[in-house]
Every structure is written in structure tokens, then in C-alpha cells.
Amino acid sequence: MKKKFLIKAAAAVMLLTPVTGSFVIGNTNTVLAKNKTLKVKDIKKPVRTVYLKMKPKNFLYQTMKQAMKAWNNTGAFTFKQVKRQRDANIIVTDIKRKDIPMPGIAFVKDDVLHIGRKASKLNPVINLNPAFLNKSYVRKQLKDSGIPADQTDLAFSRWTLAICEHELGHAIGLKHYKGAKPSVMKENSGVPIQAVDVQNVRKLYHLGQ
């Protein structure tokens, strides 16, 4: 029943919602592990370096770059891509995990990434899961929705970008947003970065309004 509802919801929103709208495809839950260990006092300024541990031609690589740019455009935080992992504050991977029904997971400071190896305990690690972040999965979810293939691809692109923005939010200390306003930090949100997200970053880093 839940799956049918999600498919219908995605279909309806895809047909009626503008670019900034929301949509839900499958289980889009994300996990923030031990967020309390990421302390603001440990970060002197709202700038973090990011190493994308994936191939440049990878769709997720390009989408994460778009997500970094989206956050940078808010003026509240700056992500800078680096070429060497040792120079990064945040590491982004794309390890396929069919046993974890989530498109993205953010593991923050002092947490351990249990996916075949231990991740750095010093920096946040984001894993984008290709088992669910792929067009074939989205098409399968929407096969009975009546949405044309070109619109399905658009839904996939928007959904993936929102997930990347969401996980970057976790990596800099944002928790899941529980308020009534639209937010990229809500569970199962699918919306891009909103004004409330920018406000929450400014509050977290004492930047003022």
C-alpha cells in the first residue's frame, strides 16, 4: 500500500509541480549518525573542503558538484572541491549497497562507516547509494504512473540533487528539520534548499541574519 501511494504521489507531483517543488520516490530516508559530535566550536569558519571519491563522468559526481554550488549560492556556507582526499574535510563516496534501502547516508565526525572498511574518524563521510540513485530504479517505481520517460528522467535528476543537498546539510551539522515549512533537511522531502535551511545554517554558525 505504501509503495502504491508513493508512486501515485510522485506521478501527481511530477505532472503538476514546478522545478522548485517536491516529490517522493521510494524510500528516501537518510541517516545522520552521531550528529552531536560535530561541534561548531571545532569549525572556525563556514568553509569546508570536499573530495569526491568517484569518477568525474559519474552522474552522482556531477550532481554532487551541483549540490555544492547550490549551497554556495546561498551565501551561508562555502564548499570547495579538492583533488586530494587528505586535503578534504568531507569525503563523498558512491558505494553500492542493496541491503541499505536509502539513497544517501551521512556519517559525521567520530562515526565509523561500516561498508567493508573504516572511514576516517576525523571527517564527515557521505555515501551516495547507486543501488537506489539510478534511473532504472526510478522508472520501475513509476512504471504504472503514466509519466512520459522524459519527465521520469527529470524527476530523477531533481530527486538526486535534493538528496545530495540534504546529505551536505548533514555533513555541516544540520539535523532533520521538523518544522512546518518546506526544507531540504526534512525526511522524504525531495525539495531543494529553502530559506529556512539558510537560516538554520546561519544560526548554527552564529552568522546572524
- pLDDT per residue rounded down to tens, the chain (209 residues): 433 333 333 333 333 333 333 334 444 333 433 333 334 444 445 899 999 999 999 999 999 999 999 999 999 999 999 999 999 989 999 988 877 777 887 765 544 333 333 333 346 889 998 888 888 887 777 776 677 777 888 888 888 999 999 999 998 889 899 999 999 999 877 899 999 999 999 988 888 76
CA–CA gap between residue 125 and residue 107 (Å, rounded): 5
Assigned fold of 2-204:
Collagenase (Catalytic Domain) (3.40.390)
- Quote the cell numbers at residue 181: 515549512
Nearest to 108 by CA among 119, 93, 97, 116: 119
Nearest to 165 by CA among 68, 89, 61: 68
**Helix residue ranges, H only, the chain:** 2-16, 59-74, 135-141, 149-171, 195-204
**pTM given for the model:** 0.74
Look up cell 551521512; give the residue: 106
Label residue 53 exposed, middle or buried (CB < 10 Å: 0-12, 13-18, 19+): middle
Q: Give the residue extent of every domain in the chain.
A: 2-204
pLDDT at 125: 86
125-128 and 104-107 as β-strands: parallel, antiparallel, unpaired? antiparallel
CA–CA gap between residue 10 and residue 95 (Å, rounded): 26
